[in-house]
Amino acid sequence: MTDAITTPQMLKALESMCETIEDEKEYLSDLDGAIGDGDHGVNMAKCFREVKKKLAVTSAADVGSLFKDVGMVVLNSVGGAMGALYGTFFLKLSQESAGKSEVDLDDLVRIFQTGEQGILDIGKASLGDKTLIDTLSPAVRAIEAAEKEGKSLAGALADFEQAAKQGMESTTDMLAKMGRASRLGERTIGHQDAGATSCYFILRSLASAVSA
């Protein structure tokens, strides 16, 4: 496979993800403060600092093992729904990429489909509920479409990232239907969802692996 992401490339992308979450922690907490507890950025940054420590000493020899390292740290480092959702997401990515030293576009489609289904199964959110699903699902549909159109890995991941960004931005006009924010009703309209935003930062970092 030449048009593929290697394990070292994925490691760099995951390290970039940790740095991005750290850099954006105040922004994420500001978004969350408008319609939630205001601690999303702080909690995410605390968690991904632990992920960064794990990645610095990882002995993972394949992409699946890298994702498993991340998933286990997230499950154990973030309380509440976000820890379960993101932890499950990375563990599902791990299952689908187990033993693979590199992943191509066909692999990535299956990997992200599995991650999406894992979140849908435990989160019970639907498109339009103003959650991270509004970022994740459009991104997965975009990479599926790109594969069917015969696009390159880089082209498919560019579509994936762009769809994730548009999905994140679309949450601004939505009414929150899940979690604490749902209790605010109409007041949630006009605010971008913090979870959808952190999901975008994660997916953007993963998409960058092709050039890492």
What the chain holds in terms of domains, given with CATH numbers, is: 4-211 (1.25.40.340)
Which residues have C-beta within 8 Å of that of residue 91, sequence separation ≥ 6? 67, 68, 71, 72, 75, 118
Q: Are 100 and 109 in contact (CB under 8 A)?
A: no
Q: Are 99 and 73 in contact (CB under 8 A)?
A: no
Q: Go through the chain and tell me how many residues it has.
A: 212
Taking residues 182-196, report their average pLDDT: 87
pLDDT of 170 strictly over 60 = yes
**Diameter over CA atoms, the chain:** 50
The pTM score is 0.94
CA dist 157 and 159 (Å) reads 5
pLDDT of 146 strictly over 90 = yes
Q: Which residue has the higher pLDDT, 12 or 181?
A: 12
